[in-house]
Amino acid sequence: MVSRPHGGRLVKRVLPRDRMEDILRDSRGLPQLDVDDTIYRDLENIGYGVYSPLTGFLDSVELESVLYTMRLSNDLPWTIPIVLDIDEEARRSIGIGDTVLLMYGGQPVGLLMVEEVYRYDKGLYAEKVFKTTDPAHPGVARVMSMGDYLVGGSVEYIPMVRDGYEDYFLTPRETRVLFRERGWETVVAFQTRNVPHLGHEYVQKTALTFVDGLFINPVIGRKKRGDFRDEVILEAYKTLINRFYPRGSVVMSIVRYAMRYAGPREAIHHAIMRKNFGATHFIVGRDHAGVGNYYGRYEAQEIFSEFPDLGITPLFFREFFYCRGCGGMSNEKICPHDRDLRIYISGTKIRESLSRGIVPPGEMMRREVAETILSFDNPFVD
Amino acid sequence: MRKVSIEIPETLYRRLEALAGRIGADSVYELVVDLLREGVSRLEEDLDAGHELSEEEVSRIRERLRSLGYLD
Ligand SMILES: [Zn+2]
């Protein structure tokens, strides 16, 4: 059996097609709110049940519970606030009980039933979620730039905006049917925002050795300049899977999500999302969802001990490297050799090499994967 | 009776304790057994009612998975 959804039920809050036309025809009378990229993606994840059991944006009681206890008020683990912020001007235009049309890039993307509008303490929010109030932390910076009010209320997602990745996206309902059809009882999920190097491959294959299936779940979304473009990541993975993974043991599909860089708290959130997709295991590596030096190397692994009731099993990995002493890929837990016999895989080196059009060393990245990446005119975000 | 030992979050335990006091249950143990009995029946009902997906939904999903190459 694949995982039970978080909280027991897979949420579905997607506006049915027949109602969509009515709503859009009558929508001119509704108050409207523009939402940013993060909220738009959260909306989709609420809609399809990736965030089950959430049916909308947190109210003040739930936010406080999440901030202080890392749980919803019903005690279910939940570590990242899913909130919708508005400024003073927007606050004056909506009232409790209103249905608001949520807009993204000029298109309607959801309906919000306003249940509460409330103020919140940004400093406290940042300190609790990110363990810092340093504005240089990208997650903190976003919180500080948010409006002064939050709106709590349930939503209905309107799947209207197209980004070209529709054929790569499976909803939790779809992945659950797929895993069942494949006869997988145990599924390990891997979250990624990067092109695959040998370290990723060995982590995935080590995990796959003990379970029925591997679910590779790249996060598509806003990226920094110099990051690999989303289509490059997907193509690189396709090459790796087609050439080097057993057919029938791997599923790759995307999730649209804006990273918070909340390290340990976000690792729990990532695990919950994958549990809702049906995964039974989740890979957590070094500095998962971290940024800069805000979190300890393995803090995102340690936090799982506080959630024995999470309902998905974390698999903790140390970094893989190539070791001349071992004569192959190895990691700190299994290799007895000196550091100077090891070739550590460096994302920076790989990026540097690829940006000059050169295939990185074979101990770091497979040639076939590198060639796929180099087949793009510019694999990087400008 | 069968004896089992499980780990539960500290916060949940504290709530159980408080609740046991308020409703006059003799112990957290007694309350937990009651709650489990209730929860198990509810889950069984859900499963019997086929709560998850209708046959029609499943076949629509299968078709999409096939068209995208996820299923043969
Ligand atoms: Zn070694």
Among A4, A71, A173, A193, which one carries the catalytic annotation?
Answer: A193
For residue A367, give both structure tokens. Answer: 């040639």
Q: pLDDT tens, A102-132?
A: 999 999 999 999 999 999 999 999 999 999 9
Residue whose entry in the numeric block shows the structure tokens 């990242």: A80
- Chain A residue with Cα closest to B59: A177
A28 vs B14: CA distance, rounded Å? 50
Structural domain contains residue B50? yes
Structural domain contains residue B25? yes
Tell me whether residues A71 and B64 touch, CB distance under 8 A.
no
What ipTM was predicted for this assembly?
0.91
Number of domains in chain B: 1
The radius of gyration of chain B's CA atoms, rounded to the nearest angstrom, is: 21
Q: Judged by CB atoms within 8 Å, which residues 299-328 of A form the interface with B?
A: 306-309
SS3 call for B43: helix
Give the lowest-confidence range in A53-62, A88-97, A227-236, B5-14: B5-14
Structural domain contains residue B4? no
Q: Rounded to 5, what percent of chain B is helix, strand, coil?
A: 65, 0, 35
Query: Chain-centre distance of CA A168, in angstroms?
Result: 15
Q: Which residues pair with A282 in a beta bridge?
A: A189, A314
Instruction: Give the structural domain span for B54.
Output: 10-67
Nearest to A174 among B7, B52, B65 (CB): B65
Structural domain contains residue B28? yes
Q: pLDDT tens, A257-313?
A: 999 999 999 999 999 999 999 999 999 998 899 898 999 999 999 999 999 999 999
Structural domain contains residue B58? yes
Q: Judged by CB atoms within 8 Å, which residues 44-63 of B form the interface with A?
A: 46, 51-53, 57-58, 61-62
Structural domain contains residue B5? no
- Nearest CA to A232 among A165, A292, A132, A326? A165
Q: Let me know if A369 is exposed, middle or buried by CB neighbors in 10 A (0-12, 13-18, 19+).
A: buried
The domains located in chain A, with CATH, are 17-157 (3.10.400.10), 166-258+318-374 (3.40.50.620)
* pTM listed for this prediction: 0.91
